Amino acid sequence: MGELIEAEGLGVNLGGRTVLEGITFSVRAGQLTGIIGPNGAGKTTFLRAILGLVKIREGRLNVLGVPSSRLMEVRQKIGYMPQRQSFEKSFPLSASDVVAVGLLSPATLLRKIANKDRRIRAALQSVGMGEYASRPFKDLSGGEQQRILLARSLVRQPDLLLLDEPNAGLDFPAQQSFVELLHKLKLEKGLTILLVSHDLVSVASAADQLACIDRTMHVHGRPADVLVSPYLKDAYRCQYDFLSTLDKERCGH
Ligand SMILES: Nc1ncnc2c1ncn2[C@@H]1O[C@H](COP(=O)(O)OP(=O)(O)OP(=O)(O)O)[C@@H](O)[C@H]1O
Ligand SMILES: [Mg+2]
């Protein structure tokens, strides 16, 4: 299969407001795509559209070879790590319990899932957390918890993985190693990955393509080209300006 995701002129309204419009975008099998954009830009909504969780107002969307009206048919082949999942962090669950949740669907009871333990073990091993299966999830560090949640989204062996700011709250080395892990999973398992992140540096280093969304898609292409685009400079101008203010203060100006 060539294109795993194809959107053309995609538009979404929520609560009577236009949240996404004119999104034209495609992802080839085996690519890691970084999605960046300011808060409220519609990044989460875009992932939810790919999962078939929001209604499409206009345009066309194909995912894993099926049109948006039939996305439920391919839902099992898509792994999803939603943004902000703090509720689980207080439950008395072990790491493998958290991964097991990824095997559940409305139609299945956990005790009836074939090869459950082997699948959970394999998912934990694939993120380098094989030794942590019985550890209480709430006692793990933020970075370890992110890996367990990644294992949960991998446990069904999806073809496509959607990650919504999985590295938020991690320090820079942890963000880097998380993105390196994604790169490795992409190469070893042939996974296609969409990664929403505010961390431009580590995403740009691992992504095959970068897309910048702010209601519509502003730029989309190779990271090296996107990073020098005039749009990105404008969108991130406040950061550039802030940094230069700090520099001036430090220099005593
Ligand atoms: N169910 C909803 N009803 C109405 N408006 C919504 C709904 N869900 C999201 N929105 C609005 O749609 C816009 C885009 O939200 P979305 O969560 O997709 O942004 P985002 O790019 O993921 O932002 P962030 O970086 O803060 O996570 C926001 O203005 C948000 O308030
Ligand atoms: Mg979001």
> pLDDT digits over 72-84, tens only?
899 989 999 999 7
Nearest to 185 by CA among 210, 160, 168: 160
- Pick the atom of ligand 1 nearest to 165's CA: 27
Whole-number pLDDT of residue 49: 96
Determine the residue of 14, 20, 23, 199 to mutate for testing ligand 1's pocket, defined as the one with the most ligand atoms within 8 A of the Cβ atom: 14
Strands, sheet with 17-28, edge to edge from the N-terminal-most edge strand? 17-28, 3-14, 58-63, 66-67
* Between residues 109 and 38, the one the model is more confident about: 38
- Pick the atom of ligand 1 nearest to 54's CA: 1
pLDDT above 90 coverage of the chain, percent: 61
Tell whether domain 3-88+159-250 is in CATH 3.40.50.300: yes
Tell how far CA 94 is from the center of its chain.
24
* CA 43 – ligand 2 centroid, Å: 5
Determine the residue of 21, 43, 80, 85 to mutate for testing ligand 1's pocket, defined as the one with the most ligand atoms within 8 A of the Cβ atom: 43
Determine the residue of 10, 17, 19 to mutate for testing ligand 1's pocket, defined as the one with the most ligand atoms within 8 A of the Cβ atom: 19
Ion ligand 2 contact residues with beta carbon within 5 A = 43-44, 83
- Tell me the ligand closest to 41's alpha carbon: 1
Domain boundaries along the sequence of the chain: 3-88+159-250
- Would you place residue 241 in the very low, low, confident or very high pLDDT band (cuts 50, 70, 90)? low
- Would you place residue 227 in the very low, low, confident or very high pLDDT band (cuts 50, 70, 90)? confident
- Would you place residue 247 in the very low, low, confident or very high pLDDT band (cuts 50, 70, 90)? low
